[in-house]
Amino acid sequence: MKLSVILPTFNEALNIEKMIASLTEVFSKNKINGFIVVVDDDSPDGTGTLVDEIKKTNKIVHIVHRKKKEGLGRAYLAGMKYSLKNNADLIMTMDCDFSHDPNLIPNFIKKINSGYDLVLGSRYIEGGGVKDWPIHRRIISLGGNFLPRLILGLKTHDNTTGYRCYKKEVLNSLNLDAIKSNGYSFLVEMSFLIQKAGFKIGETPIIFKDRELGETKISKKEILRTLKTLIRLRLKL
């Protein structure tokens, strides 16, 4: 079993080295046969160049350089295609700012091995949660998760989580190029398409911790975009 971990990055120079070191340690401690795919959108802070350097001495590190910032969804897609081409059996995605704890990776693998096709790292099941979030962010996130359940009939509880593990069969079965949405709505669309295709989706609890280093990049437009995606997917049902 070969695992790939996709790390989309835009201006993560303050986090990337530590993140790669953490993942490398988690892999070796848990005897995981895997590789890391950084997908960098030509970060002005030089994240991509840093990874090119790290890659020279750490052979599990791969990078996909993209010419410009095209959003999280496009970055995930590029990382997924790269992972499939490089024979990954399980494809994970996670943020590069330590909001997602790399030490939880074995929990995702265990859950997949108990019979799931996609495992979501969930803040909204027992044992999950968020740390240090202001009330407005809690409300936006809760709304962003309640609405997809209501409008699209999603059964899972956290469909905007970027901490996920997909079996390759799931990604191979989707027409990745046809996925239109970007950002958080990309994540909702993936959950929707995968549930609709009849795959089994499980959840494992995570505690989401706010980033300590680097700047936030997710725009306010995101909320509106997610609502538009929900309506589009609902009408296409």
Q: CB nearer to ligand GTP: give 95 or 203.
A: 95
Per CB under 6 A, does 12 bind ligand GTP? yes
Among 5, 50, 96, 119, binds ligand GTP (CB under 6 A): 96
Q: Which does 188 bind (CB under 5 to 8 A by kind): ligand GTP, Mg ion, none?
A: none
Q: Which does 42 bind (CB under 5 to 8 A by kind): ligand GTP, Mg ion, none?
A: none
Region binding ligand GTP by CB under 6 A among candidate stretches 65-73, 80-88, 146-154, 194-202: 65-73
What residue type is assigned to position 15 of the chain? N
Among 211, 223, 227, 234, binds Mg ion (CB under 5 A): 211
Q: CB nearer to Mg ion: give 126 or 132.
A: 132
Q: x/- string (CB under 6 A) for ligand GTP, residues 160-199?
A: --x-------------------------------------
Is 83 within 8 Å of 50 (Cβ atoms)?
no
Q: How many CB atoms lie within 10 A of CB 119?
A: 27
Q: x/- string (CB under 6 A) for ligand GTP, residues 115-154?
A: ----------------------------------------
Q: Which does 202 bind (CB under 5 to 8 A by kind): Mg ion, ligand GTP, none?
A: none
Three-state helix/strand/coil letters over the chain? CCEEEEEEECCCCCCHHHHHHHHHHHHHHCCCCEEEEEEECCCCCCHHHHHHHHHHHCCCEEEEECCCCCCHHHHHHHHHHHHHHCCCCEEEECCCCCCCCHHHHHHHHHHHHCCCCEEEEECCCCCCEEECCCHHHHHHHHHHHHHHHHHHCCCCCCCCCCCEEEEHHHHHHCCHHHCCCCHHHHHHHHHHHHHHCCCCEEEEECEEECCCCCCCCCCCHHHHHHHHHHHHHHHHC
Among 40, 41, 97, 203, binds Mg ion (CB under 5 A): 97
Q: CB nearer to Mg ion: give 95 or 189.
A: 95
Q: Is the dihedral of CA 1, 174, 183, 46 positive or negative?
A: positive
Q: CB nearer to ligand GTP: give 25 or 212.
A: 212
| Positions that interact with ligand GTP (CB under 6 A) | 8-10, 12, 39-41, 69-72, 75, 95-97, 99, 162, 211, 216-218
| Positions that interact with Mg ion (CB under 5 A) | 95, 97, 99, 211
